[in-house]
């Protein structure tokens, strides 16, 4: 749901899940890897490396391949284009909502905001999905495109109560307004 990329790579065009984060977020990357190993059945191929950046911190990258990743690729990438559909959102549930908040969510004042590189259809799907959890989410846009999903300040405790059990300890700071 967050910053991972699922794509076909290599000579045999196998699906690989790629996660990359800055060195400062290494603990969360290791947590995600632990979750992948826990939930995946069967053997896995795993590669870790470090990518240099223009800034001070490098990026840590994990590439993951497993037996059932084809099914995930078929659901996430119909017609070989990544899309967050209602089916995907129903599958990921509350854990997916927690991942989405960690990667794309933030507080703006006391209200919540979710921003990302999503299409208008994906923004609408995420908004409707949040509404199924009784979180009244609203799309904010300018004349050309949708900018963010906004969650009112009186609805933020509902969101936090739902995702709190799925947030690892090292990321609990994402649940507090500054």
Class of domain 5-76: alpha beta
Q: Which two structure tokens, joined as six digits, stand for 14?
A: 């196998």
pLDDT tens digits along 76-118: 888 778 888 899 889 888 988 888 898 888 998 889 999 988 8
Q: Is the pTM of this model over 0.75?
A: yes
Please state, in angstroms and rounded to a whole number, the distance separating the CA atoms of residues 65 and 78. Answer: 19
Same fold, 5-76 and 83-175: no
Model confidence at 33: pLDDT above 80 = yes
Model confidence at 17: pLDDT above 90 = no
**pLDDT > 90 fraction of the chain, expressed in percent and rounded:** 28
Residue ranges covered by each domain of the chain: 5-76, 83-175
Please state, in angstroms and rounded to a whole number, the distance separating the CA atoms of residues 88 and 9. Answer: 22
The domain made up of 83-175 has a fold known as Endonuclease I-creI (3.10.28)
């Amino acid at each position: 749901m967050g910053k991972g990329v699922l794509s076909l790579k290599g000579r045999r065009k196998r699906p690989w899940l790629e996660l990359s984060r800055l060195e400062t977020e290494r603990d969360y990357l290791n947590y995600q890897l632990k979750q992948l190993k826990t939930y995946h059945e069967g053997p896995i191929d795993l590669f870790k490396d470090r990518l240099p950046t223009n800034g001070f911190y490098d990026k840590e990258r994990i590439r993951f391949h497993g037996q059932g990743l084809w099914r995930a690729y078929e659901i996430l990438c119909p017609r070989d284009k990544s899309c967050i559909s209602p089916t995907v959102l129903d599958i990921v549930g509350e854990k997916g909502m927690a991942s989405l908040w960690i990667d794309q969510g933030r507080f703006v004042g006391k209200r919540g905001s979710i921003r990302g590189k999503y299409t208008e259809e994906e923004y609408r799907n995420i908004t409707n999905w949040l509404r199924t959890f009784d979180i009244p989410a609203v799309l904010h846009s300018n004349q050309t495109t949708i900018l963010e999903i906004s969650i009112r300040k009186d609805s933020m405790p509902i969101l936090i109560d739902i995702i709190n059990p799925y947030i690892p300890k090292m990321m609990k700071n994402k649940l507090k307004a500054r």
